[in-house]
Each structure stands twice: as structure tokens, then as C-alpha cells.
Amino acid sequence: MIKKLLIANRGEIAVRVIRACRELGIATVAVYSDVDRTAMHVRVADEAYHIGEAPPRLSYLSISRLVEVAVRTGADAVHPGYGFLAENPLFAQACQEAGLIFVGPDYHTIRLLGDKVEARRFMRDAGIPIVPGSDEHPGGSLEEAAEHLGYPLLIKAAAGGGGKGMRLVRRLEELGPALEVAQREAATAFGDDTVYLERIVRDARHIEFQILGDGYGNVIHLGDRECSIQRRHQKVIEETPSRALSEEQRREMGEVALRAARAAHYRSAGTVEFLVDAAGAFYFLEVNPRLQVEHPVSEMVTGVDIVKEQLRIAAGRKLRYRQEDIQPRGWSIECRILAEDPYSNFAPSTGRITGVYEPAGPGIRVESGVYDGFEVTPYYDSLIAKVIVWGETRGDAILRMLRALDEFRISGIKTNIPFCQQLFGSASFIGGQFDTTYLEQRFSLSTEHRREQELTAALAAAYVEHAKRGRHLSRPLDREVDRAAWRLVARREAMGD
């Protein structure tokens, strides 16, 4: 088994991996940039080392520095998390050449599947239907490919995902400027500015299947995930199972996902992603050869700890599960908590967090990388926490999520919590009537609750000020008493007291 692991990432995913290691008895090494010196993942790891300045290219994207720290600290393995270098084959190769175990697919597989263009060609050759794209017109320019594909279309980064390096192009005159922006963003996020074009599938649902392979020919999937609630091509809400699929569709798509994984001799955790059109036809979109942000929902319904399985597979062990062992139960939903102001066109919100009060109770899981006093900076992704809930039915899960979001308090910065509360209460979401364009074309953020949110912010500031004066500091926080105090201050604020 792995004895010491370096986590080549930051934030909530680094904390998630560290917790799995602690349960397995694996020592952990964190890395941090100048602005992450006091970050939570640094605090909870066994060791932590500085790797550079705040910009990712000078720290979390520096392969040489990461490998050097891993070797110097005596780590025998590296976990890339997601984002940054997780899909970079050069990083996996550098780890292998340095005698380190890379917790993920080998670099040949990452090169094949992590490059979205190569993955599409591979799947097309394997007889799996793909969304039409520029790679089907080799030898020509992207401008010529766009003419063949027609508008609207998407520009996508070949080396990564997560909405980075992605732009919607509606007409010819938008193509040039959009290409320039997408390439620059892809280079910053992944160290590779290669992009390609993909035709828009109208009224599409974004459905993915979580896979696990052990390198010995054993491959399973953990069911589907619905990822259609997206804003600016970035997932916001994920759930499992998808309400859009019939059991026959779910079975067929699961078999195709396994076929794709076997064809690539897949090892470790990964995700096979599809678009499903209004008629129910599905198309291969991409394979993400890494852990996904939304992996917890699959864990909640199957009971499989995906990160632990990654670590066991990386250590050379065979899968402990067969496909028939995977019997999903209930419904799980994840909500991404972002440091953004939903009332100001989702502008990034930075600054010092002055209070964090996380939801708790049956069926609720919070994965977070922040704490009271944490400084949210403009250098990294706006994701600061995730709320994951489980319920026996989808309705139960939605109600539980609404309760969790109502309990979640973050003061000092703006977050998308009020946006998510309205989304979960919308008739279209509750009825499952949405596609990948729903948020940007049919959902409107109401301002009727804005005054309530402003009162809550004032209340939070008042609560923090009370705490600074020594109140409540001599005992653990009593959630019910505290919430009563929040309501009392809000009531006084509303009455002008």
C-alpha cells in the first residue's frame, strides 16, 4: 500500500484526499502557493511545503517543483485531484520517471483520453457515436471546420474541462475573438492552448457515468449522474440518478461507458460523458481521466469511496467490486458553493471570510476548503465548498438540500447560496424539466429575496462582532440558540430597531 502521498492540488479536493488517506493510514504532504500558506489543506496535512507564487503557472502548474517536493519528502505517490495538472500526461510521465506512483491512469491513457480531440477519434473508431466536431475535418483550419459544422457551435479546450477554455460562438464574426480568449484561458488553466470546435446539440441533457478500472481487465460503473444544470458551461448542480433516462437508456449508456473504458484499458477513476438529445439519442462527449468534482453523489448512493478505490488501485490492487455488486439506493444531489455575487452577474467575490456555519444532520455532507478568517483570493477557481445530500426519493433530497442551504451561513464574502435556493425551489427544476441551456435561457434570478439576503449579511456581521467581544467564545456554538439570535437581529433590523 502507499505509505506517503503528495497531493498536487489545493482547496476542498485536497482536504477530501487527505481525509481518505488518514482513514487508510497514509501520511500526507500538502503543497501551497504564497496566498495559500494558511489554507485548510495545509493545516490538515501531515506536512506542507511552499511551491511558488500565487499564479498557478508558478506553483500548482509547475511539474518540476511538484515532483521535486515529492521526491525530497520521501513520498511514494502523487494524487493530482482535479483541475490543474490532473489531465496532463507530462505530469503523470514525470511522476513515473521519478519513481513515484501517479494516482490516476498511466500517461499513455491520459494522453489518449485527456486530449479531447484524440479521445473523440478513438471513440469514433471504436464505433461509439460522437458529437460532430472540427476533428472530423483534418487538415483544414478551425474557420473552415466552423463553416462545415454551422453555427451555433462551441469552442472547447482539448486538454481539460470544467468550463475552462470554452466559448459559445453564434456567428462567424464572433469566432476569431472567441478563439483568442478560449486559447488564452486554456493555456492558463491547463498549460496547453489547443482548442477544437463542437456542434451544439439542441435541448441536450449532460449525462455522465462514473467508472472504475483496475488495470487487470476489471471495469465497473457506479451509475449515471445528471449534470445539465450549468452556467457558462460550468456545472452548478449534479444529481444521481438522472430523471431523464429510462432504465433501458441507463443500461445501454452504462454498457457503452464500459466498452469505452475497456477499449482504453482504463485504470483508476474516470468519467465517460454523454449528451442526450430531446429524442433520447445519446452521443459520446468526452472521458475525464480523473476524479470529478461531483464524485460524492455517486458515493452517497452506492456506498463506494471512490478516492479510497483510486488509492488501492494505484497501489496495484484489484477492484473489490463486480458490476452486480453496485446497487444504487436513493437519490443524491450536490450543490457547488461558489464565491460569486449572483446579484452582480456572478462577479467573483474575494476577501476575508468572517464566519462559516455549515449545515449538518441526517443525509447531509459538506466538503469545504474554507474556515473563519480564510482569505478568498482572485487567483483560483471560485469553488469554496460543496453540499451533498441523500434522500430516499428525489423529492426528499430536494427538501433536504433546501434545509441545508438555509442553514449554511458564510459571511464576509458573497456566495451563490441565494441563487441555489431559488433554483431548488423552481417548478422546472422540481419537475426535472431542464437542459444544459436552462439557467442562461429560461431561469431568472428573482430579486424579491435580496432584502432578506442583505438582512442576513447584516445579521452575520452583528453576530461576528458579538463573538469578537467575547460572547459565545467560551463554549461550543449551539446551533439552535445561534439561529434564534440570527432571527432576532434580523427582526430588529427589519423593524428599524
Active-site annotation, residues: 290
* Spatial distance between the Cα atoms of 436 and 69, rounded to a whole number of angstroms: 41
Buried b (16+ CB within 10 A) or exposed e, 404-437: bbebbbbbbbbbbbbbbbbbbebeebeeeebbbb
Backbone φ and ψ of 126, nearest 5°? -85, 5
Strand, coil or helix: 199 = strand
Q: Cell numbers 493555456 correspond to what residue?
A: 187
The half-sphere exposure of 476 on its side-chain side, counting CA atoms within 13 A, is 3
Buried b (16+ CB within 10 A) or exposed e, 160-192: bbbbbbbbbbeeeeebeebbeebbebbbebbbb
Q: Are 228 and 432 in contact (CB under 8 A)?
A: no
Which residues does residue 387 pair with via DSSP β-bridges, in sequence order? 335, 366
- Where helices occur in 348-449 by DSSP H, the ranges are 394-407, 417-424, 427-430, 438-441
As given in the structure block, the three cell numbers for residue 260 are 469505452
- The answer for residues whose C-beta is within 8 angstroms of residue 257's C-beta and 6 or more apart is 209, 211, 221, 272
Q: How far apart are the C-alpha atoms of 115 and 348, rounded to whole Å?
A: 29
Residue 344, Cβ density class (10 Å: 0-12 exposed, 13-18 middle, ≥19 buried):
exposed
